[in-house]
Chains A and B, each alone.
Chain A
Amino acid sequence: MADAVDVLLAQHALVEDLFRETLAATGPTRQERFTELVRTLRVHEAAEQAVVHPAARDRVDDAEGLVATRLAEEEEASELLNALVDVGPGAEGFDAALRELRLRVLMHARHEERYEFTRLRHAAPTEVMTAMVGAIRAAERV
């Protein structure tokens, strides 16, 4: 049965795809893919901040610094994302900024997978990890 980490990994994979598709697309498709990317990223980060990071803080030893670094990465990415939303895909320099954002988001995702998710899964009982899926879904709806 899929647990919270499985759900988050699937979302990371989706985000990778959406970046790839946005960068490859042109015209209206590009705007449409970008809108989807923005929506997915915001929902995903909201769920992580509401459910996963607090769980890591509670259950993983010495997780305070680990989580603080993840939050700082999310904050930086979020600022870049907002700036891109403001100017839109037609703007000059959009491509380069989107590539920059992509690199930061993917690195952030790998950091979570390596240093946070694996430890959380190790520290939390299976039923807690499975139950967290419901909390993630609920946070996404907010």
Chain B
Amino acid sequence: MFNPLEHAGIPLDDQIRNWRELDVVPIDPELVDPYTRTRIIALNGIEVEAILFGHQMARFCPDDEVRRQLALVRYVENQQQRVVNWLLPGINSVLETTLGYEQNAVDLTAWIARTEPDPYLRQAYEFGVLEDFDHLYRYANLYEMVERRKAEKVVDALTEVMPGRPTKVEHRHPYDNVRASYDKELATPLSKLHVLTIVAAEQQVMNYYMNVGPQYMEPIARQLYQEISLIEQEHVTHYESLCDPQETWWERLVLHEYNECYLYYSFLQQETHPRVRTIWDLHLNMELAHLQRACDLLRRFQGKEPEELVGSDGLPEPIKFEPNKEYLRTLLATQLDLTTLGAGFVREAHERFRWMQEQVHGGEEPPSERVIAMHREMFGDEYRHETEGPHPVVDLRDPAEARRG
């Protein structure tokens, strides 16, 4: 497999872009594979995390020369983010981009869960994916209400739209969102990369919702963004707590850069859009140089070889965006009623869970329930897109359909 450690990449001094190079032509959302959009969204999350991580690291770095090095790479990562995210077209509405974010969260997390070797980490992904799956359904109902359009046009039948673990019960006590971390000496490189990818994805969703939510005038839209953005913040806590806090800044930096190589390499293998493909290729070659710099810092300040962190076999199997309908249906049928207690997963509505539910809901239905009720009132039914038959959980079948038998 391709080994990023063996490539020098494009020299850093050749990586600063001018206005013409930054001015990318956006994709046409209707004429591309929806997974091209989710790849853009996923890589935007990765680049944003690279920038934010770089800023945090610099704030704790006592060496001015290293701070200058970090600043240079971070500037380049900034330009990469602008190019990647600017591939998204202005013609899309905030809600359409939101549907793309949730589709990304669902199919990316599902792939990661399926390929994760560690059972505890896999459980954490399987737990989380059923929640993003539910958000897609809630936003799809909002979308039809405020834009009079149907979400299947955006997700293109690759991802089903139906209830997951109801958003209402996703509000857990913050203590119960802190998972046990992997052990950096024992975890496989793939496990470490998976966590970084999902943290980046959830963090970007949180940032997006907490900032675009107030742009809506419709009260239900403002409220739904408020509610779901709170859950996304829980997800950031849930996933970031899986990282070993004993990892040093240098180690974490190498892992970030290695992961960026992994994602660009993966999406380069799968991308069908020729112009977008060129960007993934270019960015991979830029990241290879960033990785070399990070490895130098690891050697210099920690006396460690990067192979000790990521092995010498090269990248794991490339990440793929593909439908996960059957997998998700199996999870729905078997794990819907899970919640968390401490670092573990349980099936009971324990005391701390109930306490939190009372505090947050204050005896009222949350926006995520009201949006469905309002949709029913407005259109006579709720919006779903169930391509593989009725919902696997009988209690969550569409009431209208249940009546029809």
Contact = CB atoms under 8 A, between A and B. Distances in A.
Say whether A and B bind each other.
Answer: yes
Contact of A121 (B90, B149, B217): B217
Contacts of B150: 13
Given A106-B91, A110-B91, A113-B93, A16 B149 contact: yes
A20 B217 contact: no
B28 interface: yes
On chain B, which size bracket covers the interface?
10 to 19
Nearest to B153: A16
Interface string B61-105: 000000000000000000000000000001101000000000000
A107 interface: yes
Nearest to A1: B378
A106 B30 CA distance: 11
Interface in A1-34: 6, 9-10, 12-13, 16, 20
Contact of B148 (A13, A20, A107, A110): A13
A83 interface: no
A93 to B, nearest CB: 18
For this complex, into which size category does the number of interface residues on chain A fall? Answer: 10 to 19
Interface in B1-22: none
A6 B147 CA distance: 8
Contacts of B148: 6, 9-10, 12-13
A13 B149 contact: yes
A121 B50 CA distance: 41
Nearest to B92: A110
Nearest to B149: A13
Nearest to B30: A20
B23 to A, nearest CB: 18
* CB-based closest 4 A-B pairs: A9-B148, A10-B148, A13-B149, A13-B148
26 contacts: A6-B148, A9-B147, A9-B148, A9-B149, A10-B148, A12-B148, A13-B147, A13-B148, A13-B149, A13-B150, A16-B30, A16-B149, A16-B153, A20-B30, A103-B28, A103-B91, A106-B91, A107-B91, A110-B90, A110-B91, A110-B93, A113-B93, A113-B147, A118-B217, A121-B217, A122-B217
